[in-house]
Each structure stands twice: as structure tokens, then as C-alpha cells.
Amino acid sequence: MKVVILDSPAEVARYGADIFQQQLKRKPDSVFGLATGSTPVQLYRELIERNRAGDISFGAVRSFNLDEYMDLPPTHPQSYRYFMNSEFFDHIDIDPANTRVPPGDAPDPIAACEAYEQAIGDAGGIDIQLLGIGRNGHIGFNEPTSCLTSRTRVKTLTRETIADNARFFAEGEHQPHLSVTMGIGTIMEARLVVLLATGASKAAAVKAMVEGPVSAWCPASILQMHPAAVVIADEEAASHLSDPGFFKHIEAENQAMLARLGRA
Ligand code: F6R
């Protein structure tokens, strides 16, 4: 697991966007795994700007989102489909037909989850998976105690996650307690994983992910076992790590080596 610690959320977004840009350069028809939540919004804005500037194109990209609330239609302003359209897809040159979000309102959710897994496989698997992290260490909606080899399925949200996300719902508005989420096994099959973490509220989860035992109690800790996982954290999110200076030293050495090789 590579850990990059940067000064601000804006730098986290730019560093993450650079990784996506490099991925598109390597493979213009990449398959993206995408996330919602507040953390990736700045990264999406970066990518939108680069798309507008003509630096990158999403014309050949296919995407699969991590998760969706159960029982919210895609037109609902709190649905993750609505979020992705309004925060990202509507502003870039991606073909909307090539974007998928797990169906939260499918008449047969179990069959829909199987079909989602099938569609990811048919697309050749996910090349680059974007993640945020919950305060409780969740990735996607794989809450603590989730099976570490799980596949796309219906998942009950913890009371903590429901409380964390209540800010997005109006007073008295129905807030789902169930979700459809890619599994941890699904996420682990992505060729490259990029996890963003910003703000002090994520510091304990980041420490458990990076330093803790690999445990279903902190689902993100499984990323220690991923061959190509990059954690990009701001100072606050990294503030509980035992030795943040070590990761900064490694990153400085890496950048120096890339400069020597003319690849910086
Ligand atoms: C969203 C998702 C979640 C969020 C996590 C952090 O698609 O899968 O795991 O990444 O809850 O959310 P924010 O970024 O709002 O703190």
C-alpha cells in the first residue's frame, strides 16, 4: 500500500486526478470504478476542468459506481445516480450509456447484483477504482464485519453511517437504511485502487486501514493486501498515523527517482 500525505484537500484532488489522467493516457478506454460522497467531489471538478481544457477525454471510458441506496429511483436527488450525473457525468464527454450505477430500485435486487458483477466482468474488469473511506473504515457500503471476499449485494447500513449521511437528507425525508454495494472481493479485483481521505474525522479510520490488522472490523484494511493500492490523505486525515514523516520521505524519494528517470 502506497500512502501519500499532502497539505490540503485540493492537493489530494489534484494528485488523484493526475493518476486518472495517467491511466487514460495508458488506456483511453479504461474501465473506471467510481465513488460518491463529499471526498471525491474536488477530484471530479479537476477532471471536468481537464476535460474542458482538452487534456483528457472520457469518450471511450466505461464506468461502474460502487454503490446506491435501495429503493431510491435514479431521479431522486439523494440517489447516487443523480449525484454522479450532476457532479460529474453531465459535465464531461462520457457516453451516458457507458456509465453504470448499481440499481437500487430493481424489482429483483439479487438478480440485479449478479447482473452488475457480470457486466463488470464483461467489460474486462475495473482498471482503476476510486474510493473514499467511512469514519468506521467502510469502503463502498461494506460496513464493519463485511465479508472480506464479498461480491455485489444488498447491505444494511450501520447506524453510524446513517447518521453521517443524514446531512444529505431534508428533515423528515425518507433516508434508506439499505444499499446495494460492490463487495470487498469485487473492489479487490480492480487493477489499481485509489483511496482519498480528507479531514480529521477520517484520521482514526486511516490509521486502522494503514497500520491496523487486516480485519473485517475495518474493511478498508484489506487494501494492505492489494498489489496496487494508493492512499492519498491530507495532513488531517493522516494525523493519527504513527510516523507520517516516513511516508513523506518515501514519496520524496519516489519523486526524486522519477525525476532522475525523466518521468516526473
Ligand atoms: C460512496 C462510498 C462511501 C464513501 C464514504 C465516505 O460511494 O462508497 O464509502 O466513500 O462513506 O464518504 P464521504 O466522502 O462523504 O466522507
For residue 1, report the distance from its CA to the centre of ligand 1, in Å: 20
pLDDT computed for residue 172 by the predictor: 87
Measured in degrees and rounded to the nearest 5, phi and psi for residue 247 equal: -70, -35
Question: CB of 20 within 8 A of CB of 27?
Answer: no
Q: Average the pLDDT over 242-258 and give the result.
A: 95
Q: Any alpha helices (H) in 123-183, and if so which ranges?
A: 159-165
pLDDT computed for residue 197 by the predictor: 98
Whole-prediction pTM: 0.96
pLDDT > 80? residue 231: yes
64-112 pLDDT, tens per residue? Answer: 999 999 999 999 999 999 999 999 999 999 999 999 999 899 999 999 9
Question: CB of 218 within 8 A of CB of 204?
Answer: no
State if residue 179 touches ligand 1 by the CB under 6 angstroms criterion: no
Which ligand 1 atom sits closest to the C-alpha of 142?
9
Mean pLDDT for all residues in the chain: 96
For residue 153, report the distance from its CA to the centre of ligand 1, in Å: 17
153-187 pLDDT, tens per residue? Answer: 999 999 999 998 898 888 888 899 999 999 999 99
Q: How many other β-carbons are positioned within 10 Å of the β-carbon of residue 234?
A: 23
Cell 464493519 locates to 144
pLDDT computed for residue 106 by the predictor: 93
**Residue 190 Cα distances to 5, 77, 129, 187, angstroms:** 23, 29, 6, 6
Residues known to be catalytic: 67, 136, 138, 143
pLDDT > 80? residue 262: yes
pLDDT computed for residue 264 by the predictor: 76
State if residue 42 touches ligand 1 by the CB under 6 angstroms criterion: no
123-162 pLDDT, tens per residue? Answer: 999 999 999 999 999 999 999 999 999 999 999 999 999 9
Weakest-pLDDT range from 8-12, 37-41, 52-56, 158-162: 158-162
- Band of residue 202 on the pLDDT scale cut at 50, 70, 90: very high
Amino acid identity of residue 99, one-letter, is T
* Rounded CA separation 102/234 (Å): 29
pLDDT computed for residue 124 by the predictor: 98
Amino acid identity of residue 139, one-letter, is I
pLDDT computed for residue 32 by the predictor: 98
Weakest-pLDDT range from 32-46, 153-167, 222-236: 153-167
pLDDT computed for residue 191 by the predictor: 98
For residue 253, report the distance from its CA to the centre of ligand 1, in Å: 31
pLDDT > 90? residue 227: yes
Which ligand 1 atom sits closest to the C-alpha of 139?
9
pLDDT exceeding 90 applies to what percent of the chain?
93
